[in-house]
Structure 1
Amino acid sequence: MQSAIVGFILGIAWLQRQSTLPNKPFLFGLGVLAVLLFSLSFLPALIRRYPLANPVLRLAAGTAFGIFWSSLLALHTLAQNLPEPLENKNLVVTGTVSSLPQADDGGVRFQFRTEKAVYQNRRVLIPDNILLSWKDSHAAFIGKRARNVLPGQKWQFNVRLKRPHGPANPDGFDYELWLFEQGIRATGHVNTDVRLPDPNELVDTFVFTPMNAINAIRQKLRERIYRALPDGEYAGVIVALVIGEQKAISRSDWEIFNRTGISHLVAISGLHITLVSGLFAGLVSALWRRSFFTKKQLPLLLPAQKAAAIAGVGMALLYVALAGFGIPARRTLCMIVIVALALWTGRLTRFSHVLLAAAGVVLLFDPLALMKPGFWLSFVAVGTILYATADRTRRLPEKDSRFSRLRHILGSAARTQWAVTIGLVPLTMLFFGRVSLIGPLANALAIPVVSLFVTPLALLGSVLPSPLINLVLTVVHFAIQTLADILEWLGFLPFAVWSAPVPSFYLIIFALAGTLWMLAPKGWPFRGLGLLCWLPLFLSAPAHPGYGEAWITVLDVGQGSAVLVETQKHRLLFDTGPRWSANASAAESVIYPYLKSRGTDRLDTIVVSHGDNDHSGGLLALTGKLPVDEVLSSMPPDSLLVRILPVHRPCLAGQQWEWEGIRFEMLYPASDDYLDDNHKTNNLSCVLKVATPKYAMLLTGDIESGEERELVNRYPDKLKADILLAPHHGSQTSSTWPFLFSVKPRFAVFQTGYLNRYGHPAKRAVDRYGLLDIRTYRTDRDGAIVFEMGNTLESGSCRERQTRYWKTR
C-alpha cells in the first residue's frame, strides 16, 4: 500500500505543475485505469511470476488516482468562478459572515457565504464563498473588534466583485493559489453609495451553523483577550496562540520571529496541537489507570492506552476548532487521527508507514497542501527525527538517579532539536532564501516557554472569569514580552541570519544528500563531510548580467509602478510602488521579497519619479529594510519623505552616469520646470533613459501630453528606445502620436491594477500602440515583465512562464 500512496502523491504533484486541467473523458479513463491497475496488483499468479508487479502496479494506480482525484476537486472549485460579465457590476447579495472579521485599514475584511445575488432586478449565480472588504465609518472599530460585523450575522450588501486576481511576480507569494485553497472564487468591496436603492442592512443577528457557532466562540475569546489586555503590545500573539488568528501581530514582530526561527511557535501550530493533545491524553491515561479514583475497573473495560488515544483526538479536534479549522491545523489533526487509529488497531509497528499514511490522508482532503512549505517542513521534520533517532535510543535502568534521567532527557531533546535544525536547512533555504543561524539557541529557549508555559496558561486564562483572566493573561503577556526582548537582541546580531538567492532544485537535492550523510548512524564514514554538500547552497551567487548587459524587471505591484534595473555590479529601482494601508505596501509584499530572492542586499540608486502614492508609497519601507546609496526624485524639498531621507537629490535633466557599459541619462524635468507653480506632481515626473550599446528603455513616470511634447521638442534625436514604460499607466492624456513616433518602441509596458478605478490603460491609448505594431504588455494581464538587453533583446512575462490552472486568465 505504501507504493500506492507514493504514487498518489506523485500524481498530485504532477497536476500542480499543469497550466490546464485534464478534460472529463480523460479523467474518466484515468479513474477506470486506476481501478484496473489496483485490481491487477492482487492477482496471485502475476505476483508470483513478477515479484515487482505488485509495487509497480500500485504505484501506477496511485499516480492515476492522484491525478483523477485532485482534478475532480479542482474542477469543482473552478466551477464556482464568478462569471466574467458580472465583474465590477453593482450586485445586491444576501448571505452570512462566515469568518472572523479582520481589521483592514479603517474598515473590516471577512469571508461571506452567499445565499442570493441580484443584478438589475434578476437573480444571478455567483460563487458561494466570497471575500469582502467594507471601508466605511459604519465598520468602525472599538479596540481590535469590528463593532457591527460579527460571525454568523446575515446581511444584505451592495457589492462590486471581481474574479480572483493577485500580483504575479517571480518567486512571489501566489495570492490566487491562496484564494483557490480557501475556496474563495471572488473578491470585492461593499458599496456604500447612499444613492443605491437597496441599503446595506443587517437581516438577522445570528444564523446557526456549526461553523458559525465556532467562529462566534472564537470572536468572544478574542474580545475577552483584548479587554483583559487593552494596551498589551503582544496581545495579538496571545490571540494567535488561542484562536489561530495572526493578523494582529505586527510586521516588525514577525521579522524578529522569522530571524530567530521561532515563527512556527507563534500560532496554533502542529507542535502546539500535538503537545496539548499529548498532555491531555497523558492526563486521561493516568486517571483511567486509576479508574478516576473510583472502585470501577475501567482498564478492564478499555485499555488506558486506547482511552488516551480517544482523549487525545478529542482534544486535538477541540483545539483545531478554536483555530477555525485552518488548513495547517487540519493537517495536524489528520496526522493525530492516523496515529490514534494505528495505535487503536495495534498497527503502530513502523512509524514511517504511519507518517506516509498521514501524508496520504492529508492530501486526500487537501491536494493543494503539497504546494505549502508547512506541509513539507512538518513531514520532513518528523521524518528527520525518525531517521536520526532510529535504533539509537536506550532504556535507562530503573536504578538510575533522577539526575541521570533528567540529563538523559535533556540530552535526547538537544539531539532531537539539533537533528531537526540540520534536517530542515535545505528546505528552509528553498522556501525562504535564508536560514536562522541562531535558530537552535532561540528554539531551545522559546519552545519550553511557549509550549509548556505560555500556551497552556493562555488557553486557561482566556476562559477564566474576571478578574482571574486579567491576572493570568497579564502574567502570560509578561512572559511573551520578556521572551520577545531576548529574541530581538538575538535576532539582530550580525551573524543571526544567513541569506542567499533562492537555490535551484539540483542544489537542494545535493544538500539533502549531504544532510542524510551528516545524520547517518555512528560508524558511517566521514559524516562531517556531508557539510561540504551545503557549501554550494550557502555560497551560491545569483545569475547577473554580463558587462554591457542589463536585465530589467517591470514588477507587478497593482495600480502603481516599480522597475528594477540590474547591471553587472549595480542595482537601480525606478519607483517603489504604492502603500495600500498603514501596515501593507508593495515594497514589503513584492519588491523586497523579489530583491531577496535575487540575492540583492543593497540598492545603489532609487529613482522616485514623483510623490504620488502609487510611485513613492514604498520608499520609506525599502530604505528601512536595506541600504540605499542615493535617492533621486522630483518631490519638493519640504515634503515629509524628502526631509526624512538621509540622502536625496532632485532629478535634473542632463544627469548622467555609467555602470559597466550601461548608460543612464535623466531627460526630465529641467531646473526651470520646477519653477512652474501650475505643475501637478505628474507633470514633474522624472524621465530616465537606460541604454546598452545596442538597446534602450525609456522610463517615464506619469508624464502627460504636455511633457511628452516638451520632450519631443527638446530631444528629437534622444527619445528613441526599444522598450517604453507607457506614460501615466496608459491614460487618455498620454501616449500621444508625436511622442510615440519619436520613441519608436518595439515593446511597451502598461503598469496597471486589475480592473482599476481609473480605467487604465485607456482604449484609445492602447489602440495607438496597436496601429504602430508595438507589442504591448500589461502587468494586470501578464504579471511581471522581464527584459534582457544584451546581444539580443529578449522578453517574457511571469504569467506566461508560470501558468497554472488556478490562475485567472
Structure 2
Amino acid sequence: MRTFLLGFSAGAFWLQMQAALPAHAGAALLLASLLLMMLGYVTRGWHVGLRMAMRCLFGLVFGYLWAAFLAHSALSSELALKDEGQDITVTGAIASLPYRFEQGVRFNFAVEKAVGAKVPSLIALSWYAGFRDAVTNAVGNVQPGERWRLTVRLQRPHGNANPMGFDYEAWLLEQGVRATGYVRPQPRADTPNMRLAAFVPGFGNVVEASRAALRARILRSLEGKQYAGVIVALVVGDQRAIPQSDWQVFNRTGVSHLISISGLHITMIAGLFALGGGALWRRSFFTDWQLPLRLPAQKVAALAGALAAFLYVLLAGFGVPAQRTLYMLLVVALALWLGRITSIVHVLCLALGVVVLLDPWAVLWPGFWLSFGAVATILYATAGRTATPLPEGASRWRRLRAAVALGAHTQYVVTVGLVPLTMLLFSQVSLVSPVANALAIPVISLVVTPLSLAGSMLPAPLSDGLLLLAHAIVQMLAQVLDWLGARRFAVWTAPAPPMWSFCWALFGTAWLLAPRGWQHRWAGMLGWLPLLTALPSSPPAGQLWVTAFDVGQGMAVLVETHDHRLLYDTGPAYSLDSDGASRVIVPYLRARGIAKLDGVIISHSDLDHAGGAMSLLENVQVGWLASSLFDGHPAVEFQRESHRPYLHCMAGQSWTWEGVHFAMLHPLPASHTDISLTPNARSCTVKITAGRHAILLAGDIEAAQEAQLLARSTDGDLAADVLLAPHHGSGTSSTPAFLNAVHPGLAIFQVGHRNRYKHPKPQVYARYGDMGIARLRTDVTGAVVLEFGDNIDVTQYRAMHPRYWHGR
C-alpha cells in the first residue's frame, strides 16, 4: 500500500508538469482501475521486490490518470473568448470570506444563473466602486452566504509568468475559479446590483459565514491593534490582513508556519479536546450512567479529538498543512476504533494519498513539501531509536527536563532536515530559526492560540479581555522576533540549487541525522557546501543578459554584465500593499541569489514604472539610483537618507561595465526644471551595447521626444537590435521615422493582459510588423530573457515552461 501511494503521488506530480492533458483520461482511468484490481491476484506469488515495483508503477499511472481526469473536469467550464469584457448579469451567492482593502472588496461568487453568456460556476470578483463600510450597510457590503444579482465583466484566468514566480493561474485552477472580473458600478437601470437574500442555506455558506462572524468579532475587539491580523489568522486562517512588513520579520526568523492554523495547533487542540472528552466520559459526566461500560473512554477521546480537529480545519479554509494533520489524526482515530495497530509511516502515506486524491494540485505548492517533509524528517531521525526511559517515581523537574530535551531535539531535527528543501523552494534559510521557534512555538501554540479561540467564542466582556491579552503577548513576541530578524546574520541566502546539488545536500542531511554510532556524522554538513556557497550565475565578460519581466501594465528590465547588475524601472503598483517589485522582482532576485543591484534607473514617476520603487529599495541593496523623479519623491528621499548616490538622468552620461557600454540618450539637463513637461517627456532613455549588438530602453517617450532624439543623433546612434517599445506601444509613440532610425530586429512590448489602455494599439503593433520587426508581448510570452553574445538568444518563459492550464 505504501509503495502504491507514493507512486500515486508521483504520478499526480508528473501530470502537473505537462504542457497538455492526455486525451480520454476518463476511459484510461477506468481501464487502470480494472488492472489495479487484478494486480493483487496476478502478483501474489511474485518476489517481494518485483511486487513493490509493480505497485509503485501502477500507482504512478493511476495517479497520473486520476489527476488528468480531475484536470479535464476542472477545465471543462470555460468562459468563451467572445464573452471576455462584456457586461454579464449573474445571480448567485457570496462563496468566500470577503477581503476588504482600501479600494474595495474581493470575494468568490458561486454563480446560479447568468444572462447573456455561459459563465463558470465559480468566479472571483473585485468590487471597486460603491463599496461602503459595514455601518452604512450600503451596496457592496457583501457577506458570505448572501445571494446577489450583479452585473460583471469577466476574463479567463490570467497571471504574470516569470521565472521562480508565483503561478496565479494554477492557484485559481486549484480553487476551482475559472474566471475573474469586477462588478460594474453603474449597470443598466433594469438590472441594478442588489442583494436578493440575506443567506442561502448550504454547508459551505455556513462555514464561511461562521468564519466571517469570528473575524468581525476579533477585529471589533482589536480595532486599531497592530497584530489583529495575526489573531485572525490563528482563529480562521485568513492571513490577508497581516502587512508585508510583518511577513518579512516572520520569514526572516523562520516562524511564518506558526502564523496560521498549522498542524501543530490542530494537534494541540485535538489533544485538549480528546483529553477533556475522555476525562468526562470516564467520569460519566459526573453522573451514575456508567458510560465507559457502554463505550471505552479511549474511543470517545479519539472521536472528540478528531471532531475538534475537523472543525478547526474548516476554520482554516482547508489548507494543505491543516489537511495533512487532519488526515493523520483521522487515520489514527479510525485505527483505534477498529482495533487495528498501524505504524506512523502508514499514517503518513495514507495522509499523503488522501491529500493528493482530493487535491492533485497540492503538489505544486511549497506548503505541501514542507509539511510532509517535516514529518518525514522527524520519522527518519527518531523512529526505531530508543530513548533512555525515566525511572519510576522520577521528579516533575526531571520529567520537564526530559520533555524540553525532546522538544529541542525535534526542533533541531526539523531545522536541519529542511535546510535543502528550504533552499530549493526559497533560496534562503533562517539562521535564527531554532532560537525563534524555541520561543514562538510554545508561546503561539500553548498560549496565544487557545486564548484567541476562547476569546473569539466566549461572550463579552470576557472575550474582549482574552483577545487583548492574546494580542499583548503577540506584540511582545513580535518585538523579540523583530530584534532577531534585524541581525545581519539572520538569513543565509544563495541561488536556488540545481537538482544535483539538492540531492547531494539531501544525502548529507541523511548522514548528519543518522543514528548515534554512525561514523563521522558531522561530515554530513559537507553535503551542504555546494548548496550554501553557490554564487549567482552571470554572463561572460563582454556579454549581456537582459530579462524583461512580465509585471502586467508596467516596465521592469534587469540588465546583467559579468560583475554588475542594473534594474531599469521597478514595475507597477497593484495596490497599496502590492507592487511589481514585491511580487515579481524581489522574489526573482532572491531565487537567483542576487543580494545587490549596482544601479537602478527609474525612467519617470508614473506608477507603472516607479510603483515598486520603495519595495525594491527596502528589500534589496542598491548602489546608485538615477531617475527623472521630482525632488521629494519617496524613492529619492530614501536613497539620500541611506547616504547612497542619487543623480538625475541626463543625455551624455555614459559608463562601461566589463566591455558593455551604457549611454544615456534622454532627457536633456534642462528638462528637469521645465515644469511644462509631462513625466513621459522626461523618460530616461538608455542604449546598451555589447559587442556588435545593442538594446534601446525607451521608457515612455512620445513622438516629440522621438523627434528630438532623431535631431540630436548622427548616423547609427540610435540603431539597436532590440527595442523596448516606447510607452508600451501607445498611439503617441513609435513613429515610422524613429523605428527606421533604430531599425530593430526585435521589439518587446511590456503590457498587461487586457489592459484598460488597449496597449499596444493595433495600428502601432501592425506598424512594427509591416516593417519586418519581430514582436513579443509579455502578456502572451511571459518574461523574455535575451542573451547577447555572438548572436542574440531569445527565451520566452511560457514557451519554455508550458503547462496545460496556460494559454487556454
Q: Output the TM-score relative to the length of structure 1.
A: 0.96
Q: Hey, what does 1:513 align to over in structure 2? A: 507
C-alpha separation in 1, matches of 2:370 and 2:317: 22
Q: 2:652 aligns with which of 618, 632, 654?
A: 654
Q: Hey, what does 1:304 align to over in structure 2? A: 297
Question: Alignment partner of 1:299: what SS?
Answer: helix
C-alpha separation in 2, matches of 1:583 and 1:49: 60
Q: CA offsets, 1:332-382, max 9 Å, x none?
A: 322221222223233333211221111011111011111121111111211
Q: Hey, what does 2:229 align to over in structure 1? A: 236
Q: Hey, what does 2:606 align to over in structure 1? A: 612
Q: Hey, what does 1:440 align to over in structure 2? A: 434
C-alpha separation in 2, matches of 1:178 and 1:605: 34
Q: Does 1:102 align with 2:103?
A: no
Q: Hey, what does 1:323 align to over in structure 2? A: 316
Q: Contact between 2:302 and 2:336, CA under 8 Å: does it hold in 1?
A: yes
- Label 1:670 to 1:378 Cα distance change in 2 as closer, same or farther (>3 A): same
C-alpha separation in 2, matches of 1:338 and 1:145: 47
Q: Hey, what does 1:793 align to over in structure 2? A: 792
Q: CA offsets, 1:701-740, max 9 Å, x none?
A: 0111222222222214211111110111011221121111
Q: Does 1:251 align with 2:249?
A: no
C-alpha separation in 2, matches of 1:19 and 1:369: 18
Tell me the CA shift for residue 142 of structure 1.
6.0
Q: Does 1:501 align with 2:495?
A: yes
291-300 or 425-434: bigger deviation: 291-300
Q: Contact between 2:627 and 2:648, CA under 8 Å: does it hold in 1?
A: yes
Q: CA offsets, 1:467-524, max 9 Å, x none?
A: 1111111111111101111111111112111111111122111111111111111111
Tell me the CA shift for residue 611 of structure 1.
0.9
Q: Hey, what does 1:40 align to over in structure 2? A: 39
C-alpha separation in 1, matches of 2:22 and 2:129: 44
- Label 1:202 to 1:143 Cα distance change in 2 as closer, same or farther (>3 A): closer
Q: Hey, what does 1:369 align to over in structure 2? A: 362
C-alpha separation in 1, matches of 2:439 and 2:366: 24
Report the AA paired with residue 81 of structure 1. Answer: E
Matches within 5 A, 1:244-643: 244-390=237-383, 391-637=385-631, 639=633, 641-643=635-637
Q: Hey, what does 1:179 align to over in structure 2? A: 172
C-alpha separation in 2, matches of 1:405 and 1:553: 58
Q: Hey, what does 1:210 align to over in structure 2? A: 203
Question: Alignment partner of 1:113: what SS?
Answer: strand
Q: CA offsets, 1:137-196, max 9 Å, x none?
A: 434466999972111111111111111111111001111111111111111111113666
Q: Contact between 1:145 and 1:223, CA under 8 Å: does it hold in 2?
A: no
5+ residue gaps, structure 1 = none
Q: Contact between 1:501 and 1:542, CA under 8 Å: does it hold in 2?
A: yes
Question: Alignment partner of 1:42: what SS?
Answer: helix
Matches within 5 A, 1:774-793: 774-793=773-792
C-alpha separation in 2, matches of 1:378 and 1:234: 25
Q: Hey, what does 1:219 align to over in structure 2? A: 212
Tell me the CA shift for residue 326 of structure 1.
3.9
C-alpha separation in 2, matches of 1:559 and 1:281: 53
Q: CA offsets, 1:421-474, max 9 Å, x none?
A: 111111111111111111111111111111011101110111121111111111
- Label 1:749 to 1:17 Cα distance change in 2 as closer, same or farther (>3 A): same
Report the AA paired with residue 358 of structure 1. Answer: A
Report the AA paired with residue 710 of structure 1. Answer: Q
C-alpha separation in 1, matches of 2:756 and 2:373: 46
Q: Hey, what does 1:664 align to over in structure 2? A: 662
C-alpha separation in 2, matches of 1:631 and 1:143: 46
Q: CA offsets, 1:12-60, max 9 Å, x none?
A: 1211110010001x652354145225413323xx543544442232222
404-413 or 142-151: bigger deviation: 142-151
Q: Hey, what does 1:75 align to over in structure 2? A: 72
Report the AA paired with residue 713 of structure 1. Answer: A
Q: CA offsets, 1:723-782, max 9 Å, x none?
A: 110111011221121111111111110000000001111111111121222221111111
Q: Contact between 2:660 and 2:690, CA under 8 Å: does it hold in 1?
A: yes
- Label 1:790 to 1:101 Cα distance change in 2 as closer, same or farther (>3 A): same
Tell me the CA shift for residue 639 of structure 1.
4.6
Report the AA paired with residue 16 of structure 1. Answer: Q
- Label 1:143 to 1:6 Cα distance change in 2 as closer, same or farther (>3 A): farther
Report the AA paired with residue 526 of structure 1. Answer: H
Q: Contact between 2:29 and 2:66, CA under 8 Å: does it hold in 1?
A: no
Matches within 5 A, 1:679-718: 679-715=677-713, 716-718=715-717
Q: CA offsets, 1:551-578, max 9 Å, x none?
A: 1000011000000001111110101111
Question: Alignment partner of 2:41: what SS?
Answer: coil
C-alpha separation in 1, matches of 2:138 and 2:550: 33
Q: Hey, what does 2:12 align to over in structure 1? A: 12
C-alpha separation in 1, matches of 2:378 and 2:638: 50
498-507 or 54-63: bigger deviation: 54-63
Report the AA paired with residue 447 of structure 2. Answer: F
Tell me the CA shift for residue 286 of structure 1.
2.7
Report the AA paired with residue 457 of structure 2. Answer: V
Q: Contact between 1:41 and 1:53, CA under 8 Å: does it hold in 2?
A: no
Question: Alignment partner of 2:102: what SS?
Answer: coil
Q: Contact between 1:111 and 1:131, CA under 8 Å: does it hold in 2?
A: yes
C-alpha separation in 2, matches of 1:250 and 1:437: 23
Q: CA offsets, 1:514-558, max 9 Å, x none?
A: 111111111111100001001111101121111001110000110
Report the AA paired with residue 57 of structure 2. Answer: A
183-192 or 144-153: bigger deviation: 144-153
Q: Contact between 1:106 and 1:140, CA under 8 Å: does it hold in 2?
A: no
Q: Contact between 1:688 and 1:698, CA under 8 Å: does it hold in 2?
A: yes
C-alpha separation in 2, matches of 1:297 and 1:604: 77
Tell me the CA shift for residue 203 of structure 1.
1.3
What RMSD over aligned residues (CA atoms) do the two structures have, in Å? 1.9
Report the AA paired with residue 183 of structure 1. Answer: G
Q: Output the TM-score relative to the length of structure 2.
A: 0.96
Q: Contact between 1:558 and 1:753, CA under 8 Å: does it hold in 2?
A: yes
293-302 or 794-803: bigger deviation: 293-302
- Label 1:49 to 1:139 Cα distance change in 2 as closer, same or farther (>3 A): same
C-alpha separation in 1, matches of 2:533 and 2:543: 24
Report the AA paired with residue 178 of structure 1. Answer: W
Q: 1:113 aligns with which of 110, 113, 129?
A: 110
Q: 1:63 aligns with which of 60, 64, 79?
A: 60
Q: Hey, what does 1:152 align to over in structure 2? A: 145
- Label 1:638 to 1:375 Cα distance change in 2 as closer, same or farther (>3 A): closer
Q: CA offsets, 1:189-245, max 9 Å, x none?
A: 111136665211111121111111121121111111111111211111111111111
Tell me the CA shift for residue 306 of structure 1.
1.8
Report the AA paired with residue 126 of structure 1. Answer: V
- Label 1:484 to 1:673 Cα distance change in 2 as closer, same or farther (>3 A): closer
Q: Aligned pairs, how many?
A: 802
Q: Contact between 2:320 and 2:368, CA under 8 Å: does it hold in 1?
A: no
Tell me the CA shift for residue 637 of structure 1.
3.2
C-alpha separation in 1, matches of 2:39 and 2:570: 60
C-alpha separation in 1, matches of 2:345 and 2:467: 40
Q: Hey, what does 2:21 align to over in structure 1? A: 21
C-alpha separation in 2, matches of 1:541 and 1:762: 42
Question: Alignment partner of 1:48: what SS?
Answer: coil
C-alpha separation in 2, matches of 1:430 and 1:471: 43
Q: Does 1:740 align with 2:734?
A: no
Q: Contact between 1:41 and 1:54, CA under 8 Å: does it hold in 2?
A: no
Q: Hey, what does 1:769 align to over in structure 2? A: 768
Aligned-residue identity in percent: 49
